[in-house]
Structure 1
Amino acid sequence: MADTPVQPVSGSSNGSLLPAKSWRHFVAGGVGGMCGAIVTSPFDVVKTRLQSDLFREKHATLSLSGVGNGVVAVPRRTNLLWHFVETGHILRDIYEKESPRALFKGLGPTLVGVVPARSINFFTYGNGKQIIANNFNNGKETTWVHLCAAACAGIVTGTATNPIWVVKTRLQLAEHDRAAMARHKNWYGGSWDMIKQIVREEGFRGFYKGLSASYLGVTEGTIQWVLYERLKKLTKNTSGQGGASEWLGLLGSAGTAKCVATLITYPHEVIRTRLRQPLVNGKVKYTGLVQTLRLVIAEEGTKSLYGGLSAHLMRVIPNAAVMFFIYEAVLRW
């Protein structure tokens, strides 16, 4: 596959290392991330709860409804297709027993996090690949250039936005009793209350729980970006220039790249969620990356490392398709 030339950095209008109009990646990434997050927020709530052991027993009972005994239900719950049905049951349970609003629990900090996170990620990647190519590869984009740019983007994004995701995870795992609802009466007020609670109980270090798992998850973003760039070139070559077929190719490329990257690297999501869980009876159950991995496998088995996978796929694939579609559209516009 032919290498892709990029615009030389020396052509930047402001004399800096960044290419001209580098801000476009920042704006396009933020808009795309915001739209994708709103559309798929209910699946994010379900995914977070299934990844956590705090809600495991509560939602496991849904799989037994209408079944005579637990022995009969086990094969259904281990079937991949049943997990998608189970996700639908959990969505219904949250809607009926908690409120429709609960399906968007944590959306406030999600939006506060997604917009800068996607902006930073797309900004760092979009401009980073040009800087790397121009300085180290004679102005040509290749797979290793995409890989390096994606890794840098993942590390920068994870470090900058980890506190926001800790707050979001804590809100999504909050019990919906009267006291909790009083504390979290709205997204933004609830977020501020949660921030004060984390500072009071765990100090500022509490905002960086799960950061090691986020760095491990950089591999997901790296695989996604490299696959997306490859698939985008393939679909463009087969569909011709412009038109609806090219945009459909972009949608398919984004969704496929995210699906493959997620399936390969998903366990880090579960580990990260466990590390960000609130204190239980004043004690921290999960203290580190390796300790969490060993404890989850010992107590719940290897399959638990894929808890919430169905809900996650139902969220991230359309999310990626929407996000990358809008990102490309805003760049071209």
Structure 2
Amino acid sequence: MEFAIGAVAACGACLVSNPMDVLKTRMQLQGELRARGRYVVVYKNIIHAAYAVAKADGILGLQKGLAPALCYQVVMNGIRFGLYRRVLDSGVISRADGSMSPLGCVAAGAGVGVIGGFIGSPLYLIKTHLQTQAADSIAVGHQHKHQGFLSAVYSISSKEGIRGLWRGSSTSIPRVGVGSASQLFTFSMSKDWLDHYELYPRDSWQSTFFGAMTSGLVISTCMSPFDVIATRIYNQGVDSKGRGVLYSGIPDCIVKISRSEGLRGFYKGWSAIYFRIGPHSFFNLIFWDSLTQLHKKYEKKNSEETT
């Protein structure tokens, strides 16, 4: 049930946040391995990016990659939230006074995130490919030209084998590990803080909103470099042997971005990351909290009826 609750909550949030994910991906690929001022700026900011995509690809262009994105949420967040809830309920990371251990939250959040991210990596790969595809006038990064979700699965697996679907999966470990740890840590800690000072009831939407938007700032800052690296490696073209044509791995990607784009290159699309993660975290976590509370009430009612 923990898996189902996490998956449903994540899918509901994904429907709202996917357009920002599309914009984030495009902005991260803009000016790839080029110094500032040496490439055409197609997307000036998130507002301009949204307008450019809607104008060139139609309003539905903002929902590109939605199918694999939803499937990724089912796998990744179903596992992540499901396992994290089990850890919380077990009391392993709880202190004597009932509050959460900061170190325990970080370790548990990172651990469950890495597991979910690695298993869902093929879906993230396809999502990135489809979100990148655009009309020639606004295209950035390598264009894979897939005809759709299933077409992408067939194309990649037939050319590169099943292993090709996990190309770039190594980037999911630091990306999802850091993102998951910072999200679940800051969300849990902020709710503990609000609860301690009795500002809002722990299970109120205000508490969830505050926790989600606070965690969004931390996640965006901590995860942005890893997210840029993941997008670049997942989206790069491959040669006849299935090897990336731009980056041989994470260290090579870091060095090349540093040399050609500088520190700013690792924070391309930061605003889009935040405006994706903030609302996504809010809806994801409030759905998760609400569904968990409903499940607990249902179990309690059934228990009372059987006794």
Q: State the TM-score, normalized to the length of structure 2.
A: 0.81
**1:52-91 residue pairs with structure 2 within 5 A?**
52-53=29-30, 60-61=41-42, 63=44, 86-91=45-50
1:220 Cα offset (Å): 2.2
Q: Secondary structure at the residue paired with 1:224?
A: helix
Bigger Cα displacement from structure 2, 217-226 vs 316-325? 217-226
CA–CA separation in structure 2 for the residues paired with 1:139 and 1:236? 13
Task: Give the alignment partner of residue 27 of structure 2, picking from 30, 44, 50.
Answer: 50
Residue aligning to 2:111: 152
Larger radius of gyration: 1
Residue 226 of structure 1 aligns with an amino acid whose one-letter code is: F
Q: Secondary structure at the residue paired with 2:133?
A: coil
1:44 Cα offset (Å): 0.7
1:183 Cα offset (Å): 5.4
1:137–1:163 CA distance, 2 compared to 1 (3 A): same
Task: Give the alignment partner of residue 112 of structure 1, picking from 71, 93, 98.
Answer: 71
CA–CA separation in structure 1 for the residues paired with 2:239 and 2:117? 29
Residue aligning to 2:221: 263
Residue 217 of structure 2 aligns with an amino acid whose one-letter code is: C
CA–CA separation in structure 1 for the residues paired with 2:256 and 2:284? 35
Q: Secondary structure at the residue paired with 2:245?
A: coil
The answer to whether the Cα contact below 8 Å between 1:28 and 1:328 also exists between their aligned partners in 2 is no
Question: Deviations 1:253-272 (Å, cap 9, x if unpaired)?
Answer: 12201221221231000000
Residue aligning to 2:56: 97
Question: Deviations 1:125-148 (Å, cap 9, x if unpaired)?
Answer: 1112444618x9889642232222
The answer to whether the Cα contact below 8 Å between 1:32 and 1:326 also exists between their aligned partners in 2 is yes
1:279–1:201 CA distance, 2 compared to 1 (3 A): farther
**1:170-319 residue pairs with structure 2 within 5 A?**
170-176=129-135, 184=147, 190-217=148-175, 218-239=177-198, 242=201, 246-279=204-237, 284-319=245-280
Aligned-CA RMSD value = 2.8
Residue aligning to 1:7: none
1:182–1:133 CA distance, 2 compared to 1 (3 A): closer
1:243 Cα offset (Å): 8.8
1:247–1:175 CA distance, 2 compared to 1 (3 A): closer
CA–CA separation in structure 2 for the residues paired with 1:204 and 1:147? 32
CA–CA separation in structure 2 for the residues paired with 1:114 and 1:274? 21
Q: Secondary structure at the residue paired with 2:247?
A: coil
Structure 2 gap ranges (5+): 137-142, 295-307
The answer to whether the Cα contact below 8 Å between 2:76 and 2:113 also exists between their aligned partners in 1 is no
Question: Deviations 1:106-153 (Å, cap 9, x if unpaired)?
Answer: 00100111122211100111112444618x988964223222221220
1:204 Cα offset (Å): 2.2
Q: Secondary structure at the residue paired with 1:36?
A: helix
CA–CA separation in structure 2 for the residues paired with 1:241 and 1:294? 46
Bigger Cα displacement from structure 2, 52-61 vs 280-289? 52-61
1:247 Cα offset (Å): 2.3
1:174 Cα offset (Å): 2.1
1:201 Cα offset (Å): 2.8
Q: State the TM-score, normalized to the length of structure 1.
A: 0.75
CA–CA separation in structure 1 for the residues paired with 2:159 and 2:260? 27
CA–CA separation in structure 1 for the residues paired with 2:49 and 2:130? 17
Residue 276 of structure 2 aligns with an amino acid whose one-letter code is: R
The answer to whether the Cα contact below 8 Å between 2:20 and 2:275 also exists between their aligned partners in 1 is yes
